[in-house]
Each structure stands twice: as structure tokens, then as C-alpha cells.
Structure 1
Amino acid sequence: MDIALNRLTTKKALYERIAKQGTVSKGDLMPLFDIKTSTMNRLIDELLSEKLIIESGFGPSNGGRKPILFRINPSWGYFFGLEISRFYSTLGLYDMAMNPMSITRWRMDEDMTPEKFIKQAATTIRSLLLDHKLTIERIKGIGIGAVGPLDRDAGIILNPLYFPAKGWMNVPICKLIEEQIGIMAKLDNGANTALLGENWAMRESQLQHMLYVHAGVSLRSSMMSYGHIVHGSVDREGSIGQMIIQTDGPRLHDKGNYGALEAYVSVQAIERKAQSEAKLGRVGLISRSAVRPEDIRYDLLLSELALENPVTLELFLKSARHLGIGLANLINIFHPECIVLGGTLINSHESFYRTAIEVAIDNTYHYPEYTPHFSKGILREDAVATGAALMMWRDMSV
């Protein structure tokens, strides 16, 4: 049993290595696996006979025959990746190489209840299958990256905050998807799947230790160590927001810790600060004088940023400096190679992104001997859905 299990594990690892490298020869693979040449030949032959991989021409000769190159068969099967967020949801269809064949989005407004969402997702999936002339049997699974907190094992969205529509509490999303569409589903939080997706997109860099932080309506984070997502005993992707950065600081909406990061770095925190300053007579915050302080919303503040309003920009930069402190705390604990930053605050203004990085670096221990890399990511708004599909791909039996 142990021998058979070890063989299957090696076969899966071999398949994943071929997928990551794109095209590869047996000679390239042999130094990466502690197996005999005969075992390598047998596993390659099995993958070829099962059509999981295909031949892809010849590599350069080193004096003898040109080596045969192999790559995975992109049309062996397909995956869906689904993102469920507060503002919008994204559904992507991917081949075995995680190439996106179609990506579609829809708004998560006050009418998008779980029932309506499932119907929307099912209709979109059936439409994509028709568009690409695929049957449901060709689909190997659907990964779901959602706002937490979650019960990952049970496939349940528990009690997410700030959803526009009612009903998003204790939603057995995997069961509903499987019953409505007939595709095996798996759930994880969106920060984790986003990090999986970005790590895949950056695979040529062979990054093993990464941190992902999303700053928007709330703060979300995910960590990767030795290429694997770090899961805790409970799923609380928003716990980074409860990091205390000022012991006598405020609370957000009278919840959580005093002086928590979310009270300084979130859409609600910035709205709250802007409204408070406007009530105190802060001049120049909003160029439209007719706007009442209580009517100041994030979209209005973004429009002021686009006009390069210096007073509004400083409001955002204060938030960015607090984010930088929070990032430095995480970096000093975890020491990642790369930190990927996403979310509407990160993309609100280039100065927000740069300021957060500068403060984080200034407070990073052992700098400049240890210098992590910062990025907005490669996939960006598609990262959650792509990573969700990749999650299913990784779980696939080979």
C-alpha cells in the first residue's frame, strides 16, 4: 500500500512539475526526482497513455539524439473558478494549463441573495459550456473563493459582513452549486485563492514564501510557506484587521479591538474619517461644497483623488502609512520573499501603494540585508477566480 501510494504521489508531482515548466524533457526531470530511469520512463508512459501529457517536439541536442519534449494536455479537462465578493462576483473557465477561456463578472447588489446568485452562476456556467461546445462531463470541478469567515470542510459561508443583499449567513454554497449544476465544488477564502493564483502566475520565479494583503471594504490576508497556503485552526481571513497598531486608538463601528488596523485602513474607516473632518469644518476635502458631511462616500473621495485634490490625498496617505505599519509587523514575523497587495485602497492612487511600501520597508527588521519584493500582482482582479480553479486542479487525482 505504501509503495502504491508513493508511486501515485510521485506521478502527481511529476505531472505538476511538467505543468509548471511548460515544456520539459526526461533529462530535465530526472535530477528533480529520486527515482530510477526505468520508473521515470514508466510514469511518463502512463501519463502519455492517459492523455494527461502530450509530446511537444524536440529539444536541442547535446551530442546525441534530440530529446523529446513533453507538456500537459490542456484539453484533457476543464475547471471553473468562482469568486464571491461584496462588490462583484467573477466566474472563469480554465483549461488544464490554467489558461482562461472565458471570464465574466456580475455585480453583487442588494438583490443578489444566495438563491439569485446560484441561479446566476448556473445560467452563466451553462452558457459558457455552450459557447465552448463542452459537456458537463468535461468539467473536473469548480473552486470557490469567497469572503469569510467560512467552514471550509463543510463548504459553508458563515456570516460575512457588509454584503449588500440579505441572506448570506450559513450558506452551504458547495452543496447548492453541486445540486444545481452537477459539478464537484470546493470552498476556500478569497485571500487564499488569490495568493494561489498569483503564485502560479509568478511560477517562473519559484517563490516559496509569499504574503497577500487585500485592503478594501475590509482587510484580508493570506500566507504561503514552502509553496503551501498556511491554514489556521479556524478560517478568519479578516483577522489582520484586528491587529492592534495603537493601544488607545478607535474601534470601527464599535466592534473589534481598540486601535485595530481596520479602524485606519478600510473603506469604512476612510469614509468615517472624511465625514468627521468635514463636520469639523475641514476646508478643501470635497470640492463640491453642497455635499453634506454625512453624504460623503468612498466613490466621491475617489473622484476627488482623480482630480488630485491634495487634502483628500493626504487623508488616503495617512491610511497608507498605517497600512505600512501593519505590513511591517507581518513581514517581521513571517519574512516572505514577496508581498502581493490588492484591493480598492491599493489601487486608489499610486501614492497610496508607494507610501504603504515605503513605511513597511522603513520598519522592516534586517533591511537592507533582507529586502522583500512588493507587487500588485499579475492576475489582479482575476486572481481569486484563477486561484480557485487552481485549487481544484491541485486536488485532482492523477
Structure 2
Amino acid sequence: MDLAAITERIPNRKAKEIYERICRQTTISKTELLDQSGMTVSTMTRLLDELTSQGLILESGFGASTGGRRPILYEKNPRYAYVFGLEISRTLSKLVLVDLGMNKLDSTIWNMTAEMTPDVLIRLIADEVERMLKAHKLEKNQILGLGIGAVGPVDRLSGTILEPSYFLASGWQNVEICRFLTERLGIPAMLDNGANTAILAESWVQRAQSFKHLLYIHAGVGLRSSMVSEGKLLYGAVDMEGSVGQMIIQTDGVVHRDPSGNYGALESYASLYAIEKAARSALKKGRATNLAHFVEDPEQLTYAHVLEALNRNDPLVVEIMTEAATYFGIGLANLLNILHPEKVILGGPLIAGGDLFFQTATQVAIRKTYYYPAYQVVFSKGQLGEEALAIGAAVMVMDQLVRL
């Protein structure tokens, strides 16, 4: 099965346009659709009848009268089909089952341990898909597809995860993940960078708002970014996985952990790796901290220990997190000065770990933004939080319905 099976579900170009307009709204009337599309009444009536008979849209009551008959309201039918969304990241992988309203019906999370090779994960995913289908009494012909948001770099056209860094397990090079899962499940699959799927999810949630230019940054083991402009994802000549993390903050700065990385790169100062490294170094120097109670060997210290100490307001950990957030804010200011997004959505473990990192980073970014206060930017942790990558992978599949 290929993606044409999704795009051909609505074969008519004008029907795709109307369906997309309905999807952007909670409910909308025929009159509003006529005003927005410029189509004739007869054409609009025919298209709405076609979409209704296919089960893609529903009549959802009547709108307020403006003097005549109350208009019929239309909405997307969330139960027309269902979608699987899959996140594959360095620390965890997550599978969600959603309807077309992006309402979550089920989910499963796997920790990406040293044993989680592609073969092992694919087997677990396939088993879990079958379990979810059975649990929710769904047939495979009710499934629109499986979207995957993965650590890059990826080749989204061939559905291949290329050569990602820092996986604990071996074998994550040139993995034809879409082909493997499609053959195993009989469900069309598509792939993109996880940062791209995350911003798709947040953009979909905010589809009724007026933001045209959104920037997303995922701060975790590394730094990943994506941008939406006028509702469309922006792509470079190559997959831009990790490129924001290579932004140079100090030309004679810290040596990157990867031999091919830049000296003084942003992710050497603001990432899970950088924070763990700073905390381990402080322990070895005998700094006073609650971290000493968690591990005997500083090399065993993890970000989870750092978060636990942060929740206890440990002065050393507050210092480490504040310094990392300050560097992150400098990098964020560089992006604002170049891209000028209207809204910036920050996600990932560093953002989810508490308000200190988010507040410090955004305050630093604002102070170093050139056109501030004339240029105002909105910062957000996003409405979907850690669900964004997997939900966005499902949105990517759903969007194929209106793809020409």
C-alpha cells in the first residue's frame, strides 16, 4: 500500500479544498464556505453532499439566523478514519492511536535502551498496533495510515532513517522504517523529522489563530528545530536535523562530543549531555550538592538525578540549569534575529523539566532580540507537550487527504 491510497480518498480537487476549509473550523456554514471559496451555490451543494455521503463531514446542527432560515452547520467527522502516530527519539519511542479530531484513543511508550535495535522496536510496534486494533474493535481498512516522526537525518521521500547520532542501541543507520512497517502491517506509512511533526501538531492545534510564522525547537539529547510559514513546513536542501545545535556560541569554546561538530556549538552548552557533563564535573570537584546522595560514581549521574535535585532547589543544580538556559537563550535570540517568527514553541526534556529553564532562556532571548520591543514574539511550551511529536506524525498522515 502507498500514500496514493490516502490522497485518492477525496479525488476531486474542489472537494479537497472544501474539506480542508471545514477542517480548519470547529463548525462552519454553507454561506461562510461560499464566501471563502467563491464557488457557486450548486457546486457547493454538490460537494457538501459528496463529502457527507462519504462520511468525511457531518451536519452538526444549525447556526444563528440572520433573518431567514437558520443555516446548516458542517464539521469534520472525526470517526471517518483513524491514524497511528509514532515518535522515535533517542530516549523513548511512543505510539498513539487517534481519530481525525486528533483525540487520543490509546498510547504506548518504550524506553530506548541499548537493546532497542530497529528489529526489536519494529516487532514491538507491530504487536502493539494489533493490540490497539483489537482493543478498539477497528479493522485495518478504517486506518488511514501510520505517521512517523523520527530523529534525523531522515530521507522522508524514501521513508528511511539515515544516520542518527547517540542512539544507545546499534543498527540505527539507513533503516527503511516505512517499508518495514508497511510490509509488516499492511498500512501505508510516511516519515519526517520529529521536529517537523511536532510543529505540525502545534500548528494544527492553533489552526484557528492568526499566527502565520511558527518556530519550534526541541531541546533534549541534542537540539532540533523546524518552522512553519503560511501553514507550510519549510524544508532545506537536506534534512536539517541537529543543525541548530551546531550554531557557534563561542569560536574557541567547548570541544563538541562528535569529532565532526563545531567548537563552541550551542548544544555543547545547552542539552541533556551538556547538563549531565557539568553536573558530573561539579561532583568530581567536590562541590556541595544533593547530587552526591544519588550516586557513588559521578559517571552514573543522569539528567533524572539533576531534575530531582532541581525540584529540591539545590543551589548547584540551579546554577547549572541557569547557565545552560542562558546559552540556550543566546542561541534563541540568534534565530529570532534571523527568522523573526511570530511565535516560538519550545519542547523536549529540558523544557518539560520545569519553569526555570524556560523562563531564563526566553528572558535572555528577549533582551538580545534586536528589534525588541517593536518586534514582539510569543513564547510557549506548546499545548501538546511531550505528545507533540507522535500526534504531529498522525497530523502528517491526515494532511494527505487534501494533498493534490
Q: TM-score, normalised by structure 1?
A: 0.94
My pick for the range that moved more, 273-282 or 32-41, is 273-282
What residue number does 2:74 align with? 70
Deviation at 1:34, TM superposition (A): 2.8
Is residue 59–residue 66 contact of structure 1 (8 Å, CA) maintained in 2? yes
Cα distance in 1 for residues equivalent to 2:124 and 2:314: 40
Cα distance in 2 for residues equivalent to 1:287 and 1:150: 40
Q: 1:310 to 1:98 in 2, by over 3 A?
A: same
Cα distance in 2 for residues equivalent to 1:111 and 1:163: 10
Q: TM-score, normalised by structure 2?
A: 0.93
What residue number does 2:23 align with? 19
My pick for the range that moved more, 13-22 or 384-393, is 13-22
Partner-residue secondary structure (3-state), 1:94: strand
Q: Summarize the alignment of residues 1-398 of structure 1 with structure 2, pairs less than 5 Å apart.
A: 8-255=12-259, 256-284=261-289, 286-288=291-293, 291-396=296-401
Deviation at 1:305, TM superposition (A): 0.8
Give the residue type in structure 2 aligned to 1:80: F
Unaligned runs of 5+ in 2: 1-10
The alignment-based identity, stated in percent, is 50
Is residue 274–residue 285 contact of structure 1 (8 Å, CA) maintained in 2? no
Deviation at 1:254, TM superposition (A): 4.8
Is residue 141–residue 392 contact of structure 1 (8 Å, CA) maintained in 2? yes
Is residue 17–residue 402 contact of structure 2 (8 Å, CA) maintained in 1? no
Is residue 278–residue 285 contact of structure 1 (8 Å, CA) maintained in 2? no
Partner-residue secondary structure (3-state), 1:118: helix
Unaligned runs of 5+ in 1: 1-6
Deviation at 1:174, TM superposition (A): 0.1
Partner-residue secondary structure (3-state), 2:351: coil
Q: CA RMSD in A?
A: 1.7
Deviation at 1:352, TM superposition (A): 1.1
What residue number does 1:4 align with? none
Deviation at 1:151, TM superposition (A): 1.0
Cα distance in 1 for residues equivalent to 2:356 and 2:294: 25
Partner-residue secondary structure (3-state), 2:349: coil
Deviations 1:298-328 (A, max 9, x none): 2222221111101111111000000001111
Is residue 271–residue 296 contact of structure 1 (8 Å, CA) maintained in 2? yes
Give the residue type in structure 1 aligned to 2:183: E
Q: 1:294 to 1:54 in 2, by over 3 A?
A: closer
- Paired residue total: 392
Deviation at 1:38, TM superposition (A): 2.6
